[in-house]
Structure 1
Amino acid sequence: MGSHDPAQLVGERLVAVEPTSLRVRYPRTVGRNARLGSHGSGFPTTAVTLRTSSGHSGWGLVEGRIHDLQQWVGRSVTELFHPDVGVLEKTAAPLDFALHDLVARIFEVPVHELLGGQGTRSVPCYSGAIYFDDLDPEDAPRGISAVLENCASDWAAGFRAFKLKIGRGFRWMDHDAGFARDIEVTRAVREAYPAARILVDANNGYTPAETVDYLRAVQDCALYWIEEPFHEESSGLGMVRDHLRESGSDVLIADGEFEPDEQHVLELARRGLVDVLLMDVCSFGPTAWRRLMPTLAEIGVLASPHAWGQPLKTAYAAQLAAGLGNIATVEGVPGSTDGVTGEAFVLRDGAVAVPDASGFGLRLTASRGVA
């Protein structure tokens, strides 16, 4: 039998499920997008550590409210997890990352090997932190120079691709002025970084017609993809696809992040209306990505698990890319997480090097407890 024989897990029981408070810190205050106000400079988050009867342990992030973690104490690992599938019990979804980390550590392999090792361990990574900082502070907006300063900071950190937020006219500026600013910013970044990969994200702040007008206005900027231009619906996406086809553009359409209806976005992808699916790496989870990825590969659709919010999500997405393959690029979140050591993940020349350390390759140094 293979090295990931589930028989190795027989007898392993969870003897402790321990939550730990962590804190995310960004290197700068992250501003607004089309729909939301300032994203601030950091926030608290929570991890959970699983310990087994034989002394093994693994840990991972949990998002959202945690309900009765102690219900899992005493459960066998084989009841909750299979190496070829992931989490077996839907109610154990909050433990998805922790169980993957634990089982990979028991097998003494990196998670990407547990997932099949079908991708490259050098994973393209873009900065997802280029927001509407030109609009702040409100009493003395800094203008486009602020966006370029943030690009320069992220370039110095090793990024070679930027995702620019667009949709300023949806909420924060006069409609026409905001639309014009979106175009100005795109052009300014392209001029300053002619070799960079540029992606844009409207956070559902455009209409289909505005999306086509924007793409026409920046057609010479060689965008890589446009993300969430509007809530995914077939007629609007068809209009955008027709424009891209008629103009000879190879810009990709990326969607499926915000409150995704999996079957709906998958059907849109099957119809050739979406090129890249973006369900969140944490809320969708590695088990769901393991289930879905073969279908995406079969129909010729790429993936890029949404990772904004936490730097650790970038490391998770990179492991999925190295393990499952079919992931075009991953979202980078500049910053750090107090209480976690992840030096093994090196960003250099626009790519994350995924380590060979067992589990996710991340070390939890924070003490147990939730504030």
Structure 2
Amino acid sequence: MTLDSHFISRVERSTIRSRYPRTIGRNARLGSHGDGGVDDVVILHTDTGKSGWGLAAGPVPDDVVGRSVGELIDPATGVREAGLRGLDFALHDLAGHLLDLPVHALLGGKGTRTIPIYDGAVYFADLDADGVDAVLADCAADDAAGYRAFKLKIGRGNRWMERAEGDARDIEVTRAVRAAYPEHRILVDANDGYDCDGFIEYLKAVADCDLYWVEEPFLDDAADLARLKKHLQGSPTLIAEGESDPDLEPLLEIAADGDIDVLLMDVVSFGLTSWREVMPRVSCQASPHAWGVPLKTLYAAQMAAGLGNVPTVEGVPGTTDGVDTSAYEWKDGNLTVPDRPGFGLTLT
């Protein structure tokens, strides 16, 4: 029985509640990120009694009832129409269930099922209590939860502190975390909170901290990224870009020039189908932004296992009410995606 033999009988809308293990504070641009949030999901039911569900990746169309699943999604490429992008994850999940394949197999199985995960929840806790010790306490909690890589938010001088004071605090935090965790990977994310000159000065001050990557150091600019890449010549530190309102074609050109090492478009808002389309054109590595919703980490891990060329995935510590995620194995900083059909996630 092919996908053309199954027809959408009902589209159900619902929400899920994510819960972080603590209140997540400020970054270079935004205030407190709170303790979780509520997100829209869509559940697709077929006339054959099958269903698939996922986060709504955009507006959910009302005209899919009565259409065959094969008319909506090509298992080899993704959703067939731009107007279906809101159903991207639900349709991939449904196709996996109908074909008895995990999503990573639908995507080609080009990566490995076990993927290193970094902790994306280390924000500006020092600004609200206990100074640098508060950041170290967050790292300790996440280390105890199994993380072996930390992405540190920097850019305090962009909004919350005087520039020189904020830059000095960024340096202090980076060096303190490196001293406390000499074997862990450290990544830093400035959320465009620096200019090129200031960021290069920051890098000089933490040159011995062995940063794995630097993310969104300043607003996208080809000349500045080329200058940053030149500064990092001879260093293994990667430049990661493309999360914030990406203008895709210029980013791909900069990556082709060798001045971006990792592209970061969000796994949900950019979309799984879009990643499937763009990955053959990517001349560097990829690691889709996943912050905000723990389920996005699982989606990104499926993408990594399916499309390959993803060195690590952003971890969103926390839980999701009403979703059984137990098929995903978490051990010592690595996540193993299941071989269950679809995304291997069950609504309870």
Question: Normalized against structure 2, the TM-score is what?
Answer: 0.98
Aligned amino acid, residue 302 of structure 2: Q
Q: 1:107 aligns with which of 82, 85, 99?
A: 99
Q: Is the 8 A contact 1:129 1:163 kept in 2?
A: yes
User: Which range is displaced more, 353-362 or 69-78?
Assistant: 69-78
1:8 maps to amino acid: T
Q: Is the 8 A contact 2:239 2:260 kept in 1?
A: yes
Report runs of 4+ in structure 1 exceeding 6 Å deviation.
none
Within 5 Å, give how 1:259-298 maps onto structure 2.
259-296=245-282
**Which structure 2 residues correspond to residues 1-371 of structure 1 after superposition, within 5 A?**
8-63=2-57, 66=59, 69-136=61-128, 141-245=129-233, 248-296=234-282, 299=283, 301-365=284-348
In structure 2, what is the Cα distance between the partners aligned to 1:282 and 1:132?
25
Q: What's the CA shift string for 1:109-140, capped at 9, x where partnerless? A: 1111111111111101000000000001xxxx
Contact 1:51 1:57 in 2 (8 A): yes
2-side partners of 1:162 and 1:345: how far apart? Answer: 21
- Amino acid in the other structure paired with 1:195: E
Instruction: In structure 2, give the amino acid aligned to 1:327.
Output: V
CA distance in 1, matches of 2:5, 2:105: 23
Question: Does the CA-based 8 Å contact 1:225-1:253 persist in structure 2?
Answer: yes
Taking only the aligned residue pairs, the percentage that are identical comes to 58
Contact 1:45 1:63 in 2 (8 A): no
Q: How far apart are the structure 1 equivalents of 2:316 and 2:279?
A: 23
Separation in structure 2 between the aligned mates of residue 241 and residue 32 of structure 1, nearest angstrom: 28
Number of residue pairs matched by the alignment: 348
Q: Distance in 2 between matches of 1:337 and 1:302?
A: 29
Q: Mind listing any 5+ residue stretches in structure 1 that lack a counterpart?
A: 1-6, 366-371
Q: Could you tell me the TM-score, scaled by structure 1's length? A: 0.92
CA distance in 2, matches of 1:17, 1:46: 13
1:64-93: CA deviation from partner (whole Å, max 9, x where unpaired): 5x45x4322112212211011100110000
Return the offset for 1:162.
0.3
Whole-Å separation in 2 of the counterparts to 1:310 and 1:10: 32
Tell me the distance in 1 between the aligned counterparts of 2:285 and 2:153.
21
Q: CA deviation at 1:63?
A: 4.4
Aligned-partner Cα distance in 2 for 1:57–1:284: 24
